[in-house]
């Protein structure tokens, strides 16, 4: 993050605005809404500020700015129409360790003013770090339509009952489950529709009948998709937000992992070739153990849990031990990587079927039905096949596939680090030697690969920093 999001309590505290124009007036409105005691330093005021000064709603210092005017202010906003003066103000405020915002120049100050969605006591803020205030306003407008005004009333209701619920439910996990139920159920709906007395009555009833959980929890096997967090399902996101614990794999994208409830415990169990953080049998037992402790466990996997994700083995153990579970499918790497590469897995002119196979070598061999894989007019997708690529090529050609058959390697597909390497069975190893792709890399073999140049639509950032759609590095602990 370029900025740390914080909410400052400025209620009844002195805050200074240097400048008396329309921009200063807009900043003044925000400060007054937050309950600040506003001081405006300027020789002249716009009509709005002059009206406030005349009524005694703000304190007006009728003079040009001077460093000596910066006293014990909670914050300072430099809003003159002179950039040089604004920089001088920012430097003086920084020397005094006073938070300072410089309008239209976020780099000069040390905090910025976001676009605000006010549903007090619920407040949401949107910022682009000063890069595009217009974009921030557009996002705010979108959020305004998604957040009912009733969320403010809901926040007030929960504030009134917070101590009572804390007294009745001493366990933090129990309290969170109780509030999850209240805020997503009939109480919230009654608040949104304006039936506050009914809402309180239902809340009281729910609290009286709520049973603290001391027994069995539940496991959610969630498909995290191939990397792009926008590809998560609504159900996956909802359950990720309810988790007490998340058990995650190496190939789960970092931004996907960040969508899990922040307070949830994170346990890394990723597996690489010849290096496992935890054996599969241990993972199976861990999931059951955590659920038996009454926890809601998200088992977060890259791609889809049931496509080379060993999800079947995990829920087999859960079922044997009587642990409740759900499975939430995700977009598998074959679908995601092919789509983001402009390679349709099926096409009436080229391929009438598609086969997913694992290319993970065991004991130096692959026990695959090479005769079936060598059949014409199909697409073959190899998961985990980069290390075994020479064997894959030799076996396909040995069983009758043309050496000129197109092949594509998709590295970190759907992320901004995506790279696509194409060639033929005859020359792809030369490409590998030159470009040196690294796992996770998906292999696509078939005539559909020749459509890549024509249909490719997604372009990752060549200099993209670790962020929006970056996969977790092997072994990363977050």
The catalytic residues are 249, 271
Instruction: Report in angstroms the alpha-carbon separations of 334 from 71, 226, 339, 410.
Output: 62, 9, 8, 10
Gap between the Cα atoms of 130 and 139, Å rounded: 14
In whole angstroms, give the CA distance from residue 388 to residue 167.
60
How far apart CA 408 and CA 428 sit, in angstroms, is: 8
Helices (H), 321-403: 333-340, 370-373, 389-398
How far, in Å, CA of 444 to CA of 168, rounded? 58
Non-local (6+) Cβ contacts of 421 within 8 A are: 408, 409, 411, 428, 431, 432, 435, 437
364 phi and psi, to 5 degrees?
75, 10
Q: Which among 365, 348, 368 has a CA at the least distance from the CA of 356?
A: 368
As a whole number of angstroms, the distance between CA 442 and CA 251 comes to: 13
Q: How many CB atoms lie within 10 A of CB 159?
A: 10
Provide the 8-state DSSP code for 63.
Answer: S
Closest CA to 236 of 113, 335, 329, 354: 329
Residues 6+ apart with CB under 8 A from 151: 119, 122
Strands of 37-41's sheet in order across: 59-61, 37-41, 14-18, 75-78, 100-102
Alpha-helical (H) ranges within 169-279 are 172-183, 186-192, 196-209, 234-240, 254-257
Tokens encoding 447: 């005539």
Q: Can you read off the two tokens belonging to residue 356?
A: 């997913």
Q: Please give the torsion angle defined by the CA atoms of residues 344, 348, 353 and 358, in that order, rounded to the nearest 10 degrees.
A: -20
Q: What are phi and psi of 260, to 5 degrees?
A: -70, 150
């Amino acid at each position: 993050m370029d900025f740390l999001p914080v909410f400052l309590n400025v209620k009844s505290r002195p805050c200074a605005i240097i400048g008396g124009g329309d921009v200063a007036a807009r900043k003044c409105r925000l400060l007054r809404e937050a309950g600040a005691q506003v001081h405006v330093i300027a020789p002249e005021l716009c009509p709005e500020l002059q009206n406030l000064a005349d009524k005694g709603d703000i304190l007006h210092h009728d003079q040009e700015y001077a460093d000596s005017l910066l006293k014990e202010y909670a914050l300072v906003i430099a809003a003159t129409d002179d950039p040089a003066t604004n920089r001088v103000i920012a430097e003086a405020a920084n020397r005094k360790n006073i938070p300072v915002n410089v309008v239209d120049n976020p780099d000069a100050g040390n905090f910025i003013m976001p676009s605000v969605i006010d549903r007090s006591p619920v407040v949401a803020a949107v910022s682009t770090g000063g890069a595009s205030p217009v974009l921030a306003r557009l996002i705010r407008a979108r959020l305004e339509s998604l957040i009912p005004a009733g969320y403010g009333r809901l926040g007030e209701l929960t504030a009134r009952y917070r101590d009572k619920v804390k007294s009745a439910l001493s366990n933090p996990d129990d309290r969170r489950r109780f509030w999850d139920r209240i805020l997503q159920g009939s109480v919230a709906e009654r608040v949104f529709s304006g039936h506050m007395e009914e809402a309180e009555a239902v809340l009281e009833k729910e609290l009286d009948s709520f049973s603290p959980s001391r027994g069995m929890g539940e496991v959610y096997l969630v498909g995290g998709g191939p990397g792009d967090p926008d590809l998560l399902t609504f159900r996956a996101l909802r359950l990720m937000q309810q988790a007490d614990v998340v058990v995650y794999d190496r190939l789960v994208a970092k931004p996907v992992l960040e969508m899990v409830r922040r307070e949830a415990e994170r346990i890394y169990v990723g597996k690489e070739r010849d290096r496992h953080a935890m054996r599969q049998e241990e993972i199976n037992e861990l999931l059951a153990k955590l659920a038996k402790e009454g926890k809601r466990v998200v088992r977060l996997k890259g791609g889809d849990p049931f496509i080379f994700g060993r999800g079947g083995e995990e829920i087999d153990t859960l079922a044997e031990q009587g642990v409740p579970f759900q499975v939430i499918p995700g977009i598998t790497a074959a679908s995601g990587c092919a789509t983001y590469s402009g390679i349709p897995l099926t096409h009436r002119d080229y391929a009438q079927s598609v086969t997913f196979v694992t290319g993970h070598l065991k004991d130096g061999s692959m026990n695959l039905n090479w005769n079936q894989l060598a059949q014409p007019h199909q697409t073959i997708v190899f998961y985990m096949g980069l290390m075994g690529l020479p064997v894959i090529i030799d076996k396909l050609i040995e069983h009758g596939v043309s050496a000129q058959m197109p092949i594509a390697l998709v590295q970190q597909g759907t992320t901004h680090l995506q790279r696509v390497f194409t060639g033929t069975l005859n020359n792809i190893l030369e490409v590998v030697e030159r470009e040196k792709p690294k796992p996770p890399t998906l292999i696509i073999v078939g005539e559909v690969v020749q459509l890549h140049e024509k249909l490719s639509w997604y372009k990752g950032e060549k200099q993209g920093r670790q962020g929006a759609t970056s996969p977790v590095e092997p072994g990363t602990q977050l």
